[in-house]
Amino acid sequence: MAGELTQLAYDEARAALREQDATLTSVRNRATGLLGAAAVATSFSTTVGLLNVDPARGGVLPTWAGWVLLFSVALIGVGVMVVLWPAPDWNFGPSARKLLDSVGAETDVVMQAATRAMIAGMASNDRRLERRMTAYRASVVVLMAQLVLLVLAMIQAQG
């Protein structure tokens, strides 16, 4: 019975580490898309003439808006960089070396130690993942503010 519970805890810890890795991959993919969206929003606005910089063609983008847009793209870039930065201390599972070093020990004891190590790894991964999620959320807020700013700048330029 104790062996079955140890196996269950081990399997659940492995599954949780896999889920954390999948979540990290998902956040990284979304962050890459976010940076693309910020770049597209800015370049599309200038390419199709939504943001005019030629006074001969009518109202121009206010200088302050240009600087704020540049700053917002830079902030989004920093946020995305935080998300995409490698995680060298990320925990994926039990150490194969430690498992091999335990050859000859009772299997249940080794599995309990490996499970405890994975639980500690899950906590460590969770802290790293939360920082990346916070950076992603902040970047989304900056992107939304950037879009609002684009609309306000266009209204002021037409005004």
- Answer for the pair 45, 51: CB distance below 8 angstroms, yes or no: yes
Residue 147 and residue 2: Cα distance in Å, rounded? 57
pLDDT at 58: 67
Q: For residue 94, report the phi and psi dihedrals to the nearest 5 degrees.
A: -70, 150
Distance, CA of 101 to CA of 89 (rounded, Å)? 21
Q: How far is CA 124 from CA 99, 112, 129, in A?
A: 20, 18, 9
> So what's the pLDDT on residue 150?
82
pLDDT at 149: 86
pLDDT at 102: 86
For the chain, the straight-line distance linking the first and the last C-alpha, in angstroms and rounded, comes to 76
Q: What is the pLDDT of residue 46?
A: 64
Q: Where are the domains of the chain?
A: 2-158
Please give the C-alpha separations between residue 72 and each of 49, 77, 87, in angstroms, as whole numbers.
20, 8, 25
**pTM of model > 0.95:** no
Burial of 9 from C-beta contacts in 10 A (0-12 / 13-18 / 19+)? middle
Residue 56: predicted pLDDT: 74
- State the 10-residue block means of pLDDT for the chain, 159 residues long: 84 95 96 88 66 66 81 93 94 87 88 94 96 97 90 78
